[in-house]
A and B are shown apart, each in its own frame.
Chain A
Amino acid sequence: MSFKSESDAKAYWKENLTLMVKLFVIWFVVSFGCGILLVDVLNQIQIGGYKLGFWFAQQGSIYTFVGLIFYYAKKMGELDRKYGVDDE
């Protein structure tokens, strides 16, 4: 199986890239953003015993990463079906 047309292939790839860029923005914000660059600002906020920036660096970013991968896998599954390139 492959794409029905050249334009389908282009559209599929473009949707894939758009989704990736969005998810990489989140990936960057939780780790490099909240965990490193903005850590001092966020540390002013405290949740339980955790300073927020510290929490992002040692806990929050990891939870987000897991969510991102599964979301990507799910969305790409839908995209594959939409363009008829899934392997079922």
Chain B
Amino acid sequence: MELQTLTYIVVGITFAIYIGIAIWARAGSTKEFYVAGGGIHPVANGMATAADWMSAASFISMAGLIAFMGYGGSVFLMGWTGGFVILAMLLAPYLRKYGKFTVPEFIGDRFYSRTARIVAVVCLIICSVTYVIGQMKGIGVAFSRFLEVSYDTGLLVGMCIVFFYAVLGGMKGITYTQIAQYCILILAYTIPAIFISLTLTGNPLPQLGFGSTLSGSDVYLLDRLDQVVTELGFAEYTTSVRLNTVNMFAYTLSLMIGTAGLPHVIIRFFTVPKVKDARSSAGWALVFIAILYTTAPAVAGMARLNLMNTIEPASGENLAYEERPQWFKNWEKTGLLQFEDKNGDGLIQYTANKETNEMVKVDRDIMVLANPEIAQLPNWVIALVAAGGLAAALSTAAGLLLAISSAISHDLLKGVFMPQITEKQELMASRVAMAGAIGLAGYLGFNPPDFAAGTVALAFGLAASSIFPALMMGIFSSRINKEGAIAGMIAGITITLLYVFQHKGIMFVPGTEFLGDMSANWFFGIEPNAFGAIGAVVNFAVAFGVSRMTQEPPQHIQELVEHIRVPSGVEQAQDH
């Protein structure tokens, strides 16, 4: 069967499953809409969290970025998994004990201040919208390839589908749908990896194959990869540091604490029955995530090797443009892959030298989707990967949109500005907010600030610099007061936003970079994507200093801090 038809069928079937589940579990009341009635098993919750967590950035984009960054790409691997350790130990159990719907609600109560709550909501919205822009980039790439149209058209189609999908179901629909999505995305990710690992090394486990010798030779795959890329002038794969060691350190840290500060992940831990379930649920989530994250570096390295071998099968024997394979032509249609015959010899030269390199555009975000085609895998595998990519992007976009909409309807409207609105009006407001967020993120997605994973990294930096320190200090120190927390959050996110916008434009709109003549990454060579770590340090320092100089929190707040440290006696989420 032809690839396009097959892809339609596979994607169609998976969508029918998700939408079927969403309709079956359609949310009735607001409580169910937000936290699915508070009764989900830790393993199921872990799986849903994994699907929620692994977005277009993890599925579509990350391995592609690693393929071109080599060792430097490790920041994503360590950063996006190590954060779960922080989450499991520092936040999840205590927030579950506290048992409120949303993160700003906790911040508002713990810091006995509506202002703190509003500041938290604003931070949350900024992070989540940035995150959704990253998802939109991934969705645009997937749809453009799948429908064989330009990226912009693909993005428009994707926005419509996300809209329909997220507005229809609430958290309950999303939780069950996400379990289905996890299954599809993990199969879609691992099956081609196993195929490719078998072909290249004879070892079916990509995690082991990546460290094995190539089939029919005694050369290690990684050594061969290092050799191929260095011959063309690229940095050695296994040792290429991302900018510098300080930057790698900050980047990893930023992603880790961002993980523990992102509201749509934290909200997941409100849905388990007990405190101990919150701890193990984080562990299960990481197990399901680790399956993909330990496969990803193998996918990255093998994809790079296959790409290089396709373009230059043997040293000095380059592929003729006329003989380029079908996948090459398909991706050219999307505008994400471009060739320019600079020396007019009709052959494709792909080198590190900007003057002679003829692969003028290779969007990193196409690598995972193109990978099975490059490796000449059967059509059904390619169709499955498309379905998996869409599952990843849609599930996370839906989870985030839920966090944004609940922040606006529950925290801002019901909590602060219009406490008298009915449940029905609140639900309506949250749906309107969702639609608005999709429109805004989609619009900004036409000119994304970075590849999908890079954009998402920016969102993590913002969460790291604002939400995480406030939560952590709220739990671990009874001395931090409202003045400290508010000043800390504002200082952290402001300094991070300034650094990011100065490089990437205000709200990432091209041409609005200020201080344009400032050298890139001027602060110790740290790139904007990694700056959240610095923002977090500033947040902690400011909060600590200001709290010292102002009055300590009232007695009942200090008791509240004692209370959340006791794991027993949780109230069910339904009671709120």
* Residues of A that sit less than 8 Å from B by CB: 1-3, 9, 13, 16, 20, 23-24, 27, 31-32, 35-37, 39-40, 43, 47-51, 54-55, 57-59, 61-63, 65-66, 68-70, 72-73, 76-77, 80, 85-87
In the complex, A63→B196 CA distance in Å? Answer: 23
Choose from B238, B282, B283 the contact partner of A54 (Cβ within 8 Å): B238
* A58 engages B297 (CB within 8 Å): yes
Min CB gap B486→A, angstroms:
27
Question: B279 to chain A: which residues have CB within 8 Å?
Answer: 69, 72-73, 76-77
Most chain B CB within 10 A, of A23, A36, A55, A61, is at A36
Choose from B207, B238, B245, B566 the contact partner of A85 (Cβ within 8 Å): B566
In the complex, A32→B290 CA distance in Å? Answer: 18
Min CB gap A26→B, angstroms:
9
Question: B93 to chain A: which residues have CB within 8 Å?
Answer: 76
Question: B238 to chain A: which residues have CB within 8 Å?
Answer: 43, 51, 54
In the complex, A5→B138 CA distance in Å? Answer: 54
Using A27-B85, A63-B290, A65-B85 as known contacts, say yes or no to A48 and B568 having CB atoms under 8 A apart: no
* A62 engages B293 (CB within 8 Å): yes
Using A31-B78, A69-B282, A87-B276 as known contacts, say yes or no to A49 and B290 having CB atoms under 8 A apart: no
* B566 engages A9 (CB within 8 Å): yes
* A50 engages B569 (CB within 8 Å): no
In the complex, A23→B82 CA distance in Å? Answer: 12
**Segment 423-476 of B: residues with Cβ below 8 Å from A:** none
* A37 engages B211 (CB within 8 Å): no
Using A31-B82, A49-B212 as known contacts, say yes or no to A58 and B249 having CB atoms under 8 A apart: no
7 interchain residue pairs of minimum CB distance: A49-B220, A57-B74, A69-B283, A73-B279, A58-B297, A48-B211, A49-B211
In the complex, A55→B275 CA distance in Å? Answer: 34
The total number of A-B Cβ pairs within 8 Å is 139
Q: Indicate with 1 or 0, residue by residue over B258-285, a CB within 8 angstroms of chain A CB atoms.
A: 0000000000000000111001101100
Using A35-B78, A65-B81 as known contacts, say yes or no to A9 and B239 having CB atoms under 8 A apart: no
Question: A69 to chain B: which residues have CB within 8 Å?
Answer: 84-85, 88-89, 279, 282-283, 286
* A57 engages B222 (CB within 8 Å): no
| B548 within 8 Å of A (CB atoms) | no
Q: Indicate with 1 or 0, residue by residue over B509-526, a CB within 8 angstroms of chain A CB atoms.
A: 000000000000000000
Most chain B CB within 10 A, of A23, A37, A70, is at A70
* A54 engages B276 (CB within 8 Å): no
In the complex, A16→B569 CA distance in Å? Answer: 18
* A37 engages B249 (CB within 8 Å): yes
In the complex, A48→B211 CA distance in Å? Answer: 6
In the complex, A62→B534 CA distance in Å? Answer: 24
In the complex, A1→B567 CA distance in Å? Answer: 9
In the complex, A87→B82 CA distance in Å? Answer: 28
* A54 engages B239 (CB within 8 Å): yes
* A68 engages B274 (CB within 8 Å): no
Using A13-B565, A66-B283 as known contacts, say yes or no to A35 and B81 having CB atoms under 8 A apart: no
* B77 engages A57 (CB within 8 Å): yes
* B89 engages A20 (CB within 8 Å): yes
22 contacts between A and B (CB under 8 A): A1-B569, A43-B239, A50-B211, A54-B238, A57-B71, A58-B77, A59-B207, A62-B290, A62-B294, A63-B290, A65-B84, A65-B85, A65-B286, A65-B290, A69-B282, A69-B283, A73-B280, A73-B283, A76-B93, A86-B567, A86-B568, A87-B276
* A85 engages B84 (CB within 8 Å): no
Using A20-B89, A73-B280 as known contacts, say yes or no to A61 and B567 having CB atoms under 8 A apart: no
Using A35-B78, A36-B245 as known contacts, say yes or no to A54 and B84 having CB atoms under 8 A apart: no
Min CB gap A79→B, angstroms:
9
In the complex, A57→B222 CA distance in Å? Answer: 15
Known A31-B78, A31-B82, A62-B78; 15 more pairs at CB < 8 Å:
A1-B569, A9-B562, A9-B565, A13-B565, A23-B89, A24-B89, A32-B253, A35-B78, A36-B74, A48-B212, A59-B297, A62-B294, A66-B287, A69-B286, A85-B567
